[in-house]
């Protein structure tokens, strides 16, 4: 009988990809994914360590799981509990010490060894594996499944060598590593054959991608992200390409040219700037200024005028003054974001910024966050309202909450809700946008229309 596997994923899209691959690695052992932890035979928490709140959640969830594990009926066998991801990587020993209900702890670089970890846990051993192993994780994992959803993630790059002073990623995910281009293209072909129409390339620093060249006559040549995108666009069935997360320093000419030349590359880019103040950017070790970022955005928009942008911001970095925070507000307003994420600075153990003397009061961070979010929300509303009346190509990804409702994405990553008679899942269809809300659009599928390129230039998003 199939065993029930419940994986709870926290944090970034890379964790979503990793969770999918964990489930695939466990399928040969008889595990099938379920939606609830209640009577699961195995529960894995795939954790995030990026901000304090994210890792606190893990320990409270482990408390709830302990109760579930203790309630297992006789004869059901023990519920195996695994903690994966970046909290596991950073605090593996501590988790085993504080949480006796946990059977397996493994990091983002060792989940391909799950079958071995499970065997050890079944023998009653508490297995810890947070190595950075020499073998290629991706080559060891089973092939991708035969059916996937219309939109799929594909990790092409992991880790980070940038060492921004606030960030744990270089410590939890390790050094920068790019998968060989041939391996990426093979996985993309498998995903397309299994039904994916959109592929989102993932990496902590995805545009630092420099995979070994795919050709036989390689001579040590490497493929950058721009070149890789061109090759992906040639794959039958791949109709949309996105990538995330990128670093402003790694936007090279080949990538800008891909935005100009490759229609499959969607006109939306998440390009985190973190701050608009040059002094704070330097303190963060971002190695670019506000103006460098503005010029990068200008180059991208010259190549792709309708490009919509998103960013991450941190407010209340140690020593940030009111004037420096206002520089962030100014930069956000000048760029005009379609959407963005913003966070209060959260000191992370082991990072340089956590040691800085001038930590700001929680109240200052909260007040600045509220002001920045008010601006970002206004810009998002303006951007969404500018879509009303436009026809946009929407890829339908999942059923909505109400019967007959389907939810898809516009080229600009807006969530689009449509009432539909037939089954539109997996289709790319033109939709006329009728109304805009804070976080989504509603529209009407244009009957009989062919799939079409997006129309409408970039909306003016000054708030
Ligand atoms: N505090 C607050 N936000 C952080 N981020 C990363 N580290 C921290 C931290 N210590 C944010 C950055 C990054 C996003 C993924 O999380 O904005 O781009
Ligand atoms: Fe963290 Fe900076 Fe690397 Fe992004 S670029 S993962 S913020 S260290």
* CATH number of the domain where residue 182 is located: 3.80.30.20
Residue 331 lies in a domain: yes
pLDDT tens across 288-298, in order? 999 999 999 99
User: Percent of the chain having pLDDT more than 90?
Assistant: 82
In this structure, what CATH number is given to the domain that contains residue 98?
3.40.50.12160
Do both 321 and 185 map to the same domain?
A: yes
How would you classify the pairing of strands 415-419 and 405-409? antiparallel
Do both 18 and 106 map to the same domain?
A: yes
| Separation of CA 92 and ligand 2 centre (Å) | 22
Q: Distance (Å, rounded) from C-alpha 113 to C-alpha 102?
A: 17
Angle, helix 85-98 to helix 52-70, in steps of 10 degrees: 50
Q: Does pLDDT of 423 surpass 90?
A: no
- As a whole number, mean pLDDT of residues 104-117 equals 95
Do both 183 and 232 map to the same domain?
A: yes
pLDDT given at position 387:
96
Residue 355 lies in a domain: yes
Do both 168 and 75 map to the same domain?
A: no
Q: Distance (Å, rounded) from C-alpha 372 to C-alpha 365?
A: 11
Do both 252 and 352 map to the same domain?
A: yes
| Separation of CA 92 and ligand 1 centre (Å) | 22
**Closest atom of ligand 1 relative to the 272 alpha carbon:** 18
How would you classify the pairing of strands 210-212 and 151-155? unpaired
Atom 12 in ligand 1: which residue has the minimum CA distance?
A: 312
- As a whole number, mean pLDDT of residues 184-196 equals 95
Q: In whole angstroms, how large is the CA radius of gyration of the chain?
A: 23
Structure tokens, 425: 């899942």
- As a whole number, mean pLDDT of residues 367-391 equals 97
- As a whole number, mean pLDDT of residues 267-289 equals 98
| Separation of CA 332 and ligand 1 centre (Å) | 17
- As a whole number, mean pLDDT of residues 70-87 equals 90
| Separation of CA 344 and ligand 1 centre (Å) | 8
Do both 189 and 290 map to the same domain?
A: yes
Last residue of a domain, one of 80, 106, 129: 129
Q: Distance (Å, rounded) from C-alpha 318 to C-alpha 434?
A: 44
CA angle 9, 11, 16 (to 5 degrees): 50
Around ligand 2, the residues with Cβ closer than 6 Å are 160, 162-164, 167, 169-170, 204-205, 247
Taking a C-beta distance cutoff of 8 angstroms, is the pair 104, 127 a contact? Answer: yes
Q: Distance (Å, rounded) from C-alpha 3 to C-alpha 13?
A: 26
pLDDT given at position 306:
96
pLDDT tens across 386-396, in order? 999 999 999 99
Confidence of residue 136 (pLDDT cuts 50, 70, 90): confident
Taking a C-beta distance cutoff of 8 angstroms, is the pair 172, 49 a contact? Answer: yes
E runs forming strands in 184-274: 198-202, 210-212, 222-224, 240-244, 268-270
Do both 223 and 306 map to the same domain?
A: yes
Do both 291 and 231 map to the same domain?
A: yes
**Closest atom of ligand 1 relative to the 274 alpha carbon:** 17
Taking a C-beta distance cutoff of 8 angstroms, is the pair 191, 21 a contact? Answer: no
**Closest atom of ligand 1 relative to the 167 alpha carbon:** 7
Do both 211 and 168 map to the same domain?
A: yes
Ligand nearest to the CA of 287: 2
| Separation of CA 116 and ligand 1 centre (Å) | 33
Domain count, the chain: 3
Tell me which of 71 and 199 has the higher pLDDT.
199
pLDDT given at position 76:
80
Residue 318 lies in a domain: yes
Q: Does pLDDT of 208 surpass 80?
A: yes
Residue 463 lies in a domain: no
Dihedral-angle region of residue 195 (phi above 0 means left; psi in -120 to 50 means alpha; beta otherwise) = left
Burial 389-424 (b: 16+ CB within 10 A, else e): ebbbbbbbbeebeeeeebbbbbbbbbbbbbebeeeb
Taking a C-beta distance cutoff of 8 angstroms, is the pair 387, 433 a contact? Answer: yes
Cα diameter, the chain: 66
Q: Does pLDDT of 153 surpass 90?
A: yes
Confidence of residue 325 (pLDDT cuts 50, 70, 90): very high
pLDDT given at position 216:
60
| Separation of CA 50 and ligand 2 centre (Å) | 10
Of the residues 247, 339, 343, 365, which should be mutated to test ligand 1's pocket, given the most ligand atoms within 8 Å of the CB? 343
Residue 452 lies in a domain: no
Residue 462 lies in a domain: no
Do both 199 and 318 map to the same domain?
A: yes
Around ligand 1, the residues with Cβ closer than 6 Å are 50-51, 166-167, 272, 274, 312, 314, 343, 345-346, 348
pLDDT given at position 462:
41
Ligand nearest to the CA of 250: 2
Task: Tell me which long-range contacts 120-126 makes (C-beta under 8 A, separation of at least 24).
Answer: 121/80, 121/82, 122/80, 126/96, 126/102
Kindly report whether the global pTM for this prediction surpasses the value 0.75: yes
Alpha helix (H) residue ranges in 289-423: 290-303, 322-335, 352-355, 362-385
**Closest atom of ligand 2 relative to the 168 alpha carbon:** 1
Confidence of residue 456 (pLDDT cuts 50, 70, 90): very low
| Separation of CA 313 and ligand 1 centre (Å) | 8
Residue 158 lies in a domain: yes
Q: Does pLDDT of 453 surpass 60?
A: no
Query: 262 lies in which domain range?
Result: 137-385
Last residue of a domain, one of 385, 416, 437: 385
Q: Does pLDDT of 149 surpass 70?
A: yes
How would you classify the pairing of strands 177-178 and 157-158? antiparallel
> Count H helices, E strands: the chain?
14, 21
Residue 456 lies in a domain: no
Do both 152 and 27 map to the same domain?
A: no
Tell me which of 385 and 461 has the higher pLDDT.
385
Last residue of a domain, one of 385, 416, 432: 385
pLDDT given at position 451:
47
In this structure, what CATH number is given to the domain that contains residue 416?
2.40.50.140
Taking a C-beta distance cutoff of 8 angstroms, is the pair 269, 309 a contact? Answer: yes
Of the residues 155, 166, 167, 270, which should be mutated to test ligand 2's pocket, given the most ligand atoms within 8 Å of the CB? 167
Structure tokens, 193: 């054959």
User: Percent of the chain having pLDDT more than 70?
Assistant: 95
Structure tokens, 163: 């060492």
Do both 317 and 260 map to the same domain?
A: yes
Q: Does pLDDT of 421 surpass 90?
A: no
pLDDT tens across 79-94, in order? 999 999 999 999 999 9
């Amino acid at each position: 009988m199939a065993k029930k596997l419940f994986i709870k994923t926290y944090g970034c899209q890379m964790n979503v990809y990793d969770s999918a691959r964990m489930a695939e690695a466990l399928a040969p052992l008889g595990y099938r994914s379920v939606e609830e932890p209640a009577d699961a035979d195995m529960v894995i928490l795939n954790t995030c360590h990026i901000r304090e709140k994210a890792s606190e959640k893990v320990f409270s969830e482990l408390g709830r799981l302990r109760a579930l594990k203790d309630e297992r009926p006789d004869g059901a066998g023990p519920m195996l509990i695994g903690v994966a991801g970046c909290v596991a990587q950073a605090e593996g020993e501590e988790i085993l010490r504080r949480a006796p209900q946990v059977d397996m702890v493994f990091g983002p670089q060792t989940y391909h060894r799950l079958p071995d970890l499970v065997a050890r846990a079944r023998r009653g051993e508490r297995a810890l594996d947070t190595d950075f192993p020499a073998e290629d994780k991706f080559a060891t994992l089973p092939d991708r499944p035969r059916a996937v959803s219309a939109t799929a993630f594909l990790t092409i790059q992991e880790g980070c060598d940038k060492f921004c002073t606030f960030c744990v990623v270089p410590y939890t995910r390790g050094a920068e590593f790019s998968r060989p281009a041939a391996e990426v293209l093979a996985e993309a072909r498998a995903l397309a054959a299994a039904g994916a129409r959109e592929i989102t390339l993932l990496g902590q620093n995805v545009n630092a991608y420099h995979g070994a060249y795919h050709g036989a006559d390689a001579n040590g040549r490497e493929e950058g992200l721009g070149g890789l995108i061109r090759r992906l666009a040639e794959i039958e069935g791949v109709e949309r390409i996105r990538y995330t997360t990128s670093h402003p320093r790694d936007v090279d000419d080949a990538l800008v040219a891909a935005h100009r030349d490759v229609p499959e590359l969607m006109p939306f880019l998440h390009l985190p700037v973190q701050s608009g103040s040059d002094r704070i950017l330097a303190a963060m070790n971002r190695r670019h200024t506000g103006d460098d970022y503005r010029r990068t955005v200008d180059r991208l928009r010259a190549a792709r005028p309708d490009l919509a942008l998103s960013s991450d911001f941190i407010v209340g970095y140690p020593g940030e003054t009111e004037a420096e925070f206002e520089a962030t507000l100014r930069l956000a307003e000048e760029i005009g974001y379609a959407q963005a994420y913003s966070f209060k600075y959260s000191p992370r153990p082991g990072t340089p910024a956590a040691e800085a003397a001038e930590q700001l009061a929680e109240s200052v961070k909260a007040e600045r966050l509220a002001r920045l979010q008010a601006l970002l929300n206004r810009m998002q509303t303006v951007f969404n309202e500018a879509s009303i009346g436009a026809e946009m190509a929407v890829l339908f990804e999942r059923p909505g909450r109400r019967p007959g409702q389907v939810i898809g994405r516009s080229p600009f990553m807006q969530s689009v809700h449509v009432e539909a008679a037939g089954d539109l899942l997996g289709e790319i269809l033109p939709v006329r946008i009728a109304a805009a809300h804070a976080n989504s659009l509603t529209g009407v599928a244009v009957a009989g229309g062919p799939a079409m390129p997006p129309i409408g230039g970039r909306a003016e998003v000054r708030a």
